[in-house]
Homo-oligomer: A and B are copies of this chain.
Amino acid sequence: MRMGRTVNFEEELERKKQNVEEVILRYLPREHGFAETMARAMNYSMQAGGKRLRPILLGETWKMFGGKGAVAEPFMAAIEMIHTHSLIHDDLPALDNDDYRRGRLTTHKVFGEAMGILGGDALLNYAYEIMLTAFDLTDNPRSVAVAARIMADKTGIHGMLGGQSADVENEGKPITREVLDYIYENKTSALIEASMMAGATLAGAGKQEVRVVEKAARSIGLAFQIRDDILDVTGEEKEIGKPVHSDERNRKVTYVTLMGVEAAADQVRRLSDEALGLLDGLDQKNEFLRLLVNQLVSRRN
């Protein structure tokens, strides 16, 4: 997967994003029958755009370890469904109470609060329905079982949902660096870890390699989140697509409020160097993945 020097990274990223869109579309539920509204709510939220970062990372790590066939595709759709489920529930009145996301009305504003809750549940569950179909696409069922287990562990109370729990509980409170790290490592890094670890596992990577990928993914997730904190202070509203200085207004503790913009930027560089160093130490290479990590930590939106 080494890229020719003439291929433009942005074009390549766009092409990969298009591929993810096609995969997702193939796995969405049909809008018919007595649960049609639920299917429409699921599809509405899944088709709201976004970076598709997690499925791309999953697919690229899978390719990096020589993955072949279609077995990664249901996992690519599944990780985006899990992520989208968390956004739908995060937007609910009892949580962040957001009416808009990416310029569109949030799911519960279109379909009502009850369907926001149930549609989010259905999306989380659908991720597993889809992942488990991957047993039909492989002659290595063990790798599918291990990958599915990684996805479940990183999504649940010991991963993303645990991070959300701590985030909700500490809202508006002055928190320590330790708690902030816990929230970032779980709310954000855990699904990045799941993406890259599942991709590696499905391609047949060994335990030791998957452990290295996990470490790299944790640093990437953390760097990605701290970059978000920085953009909230230094970004342009029309570029990042959401109001800036919202953390200051909401008295939210972030890396920037804890250590200032300069030190936070140093931290992002340190973390991304660490991640790239770990990936470079592996026998497998994926130059696009390297470029993607660099872009994620220097992005302006």
Contacts and interface: CB of A to CB of B under 8 A. Distances in A.
A296 interface: no
Contacts of A87: none
Interface residues of A, number: 56
A38 to B, nearest CB: 4
Nearest to A156: B125
A89 interface: yes
Interface stretch (A19-27, A128-136, A268-276): A128-136
A161 interface: yes
A11 interface: no
Contacts of A168: 114-115, 118
Interface stretch (A60-68, A146-154, A231-239, A286-294): A146-154
Report the copy number of this chain in the oligomer. 2
Nearest to A133: B149
A124 interface: yes
Interface stretch (A29-37, A45-53, A208-216, A277-285): A29-37
Contacts of A155: 125
Interface in A215-270: none
A29 B157 contact: yes
A73 B149 CA distance: 17
A92 B183 CA distance: 26
B165 A152 contact: no
Contacts of A141: 141-142, 145
A70 interface: no
Q: Which 5 A-B pairs have the closest CB atoms?
A: A35-B162, A38-B165, A94-B113, A132-B149, A125-B156
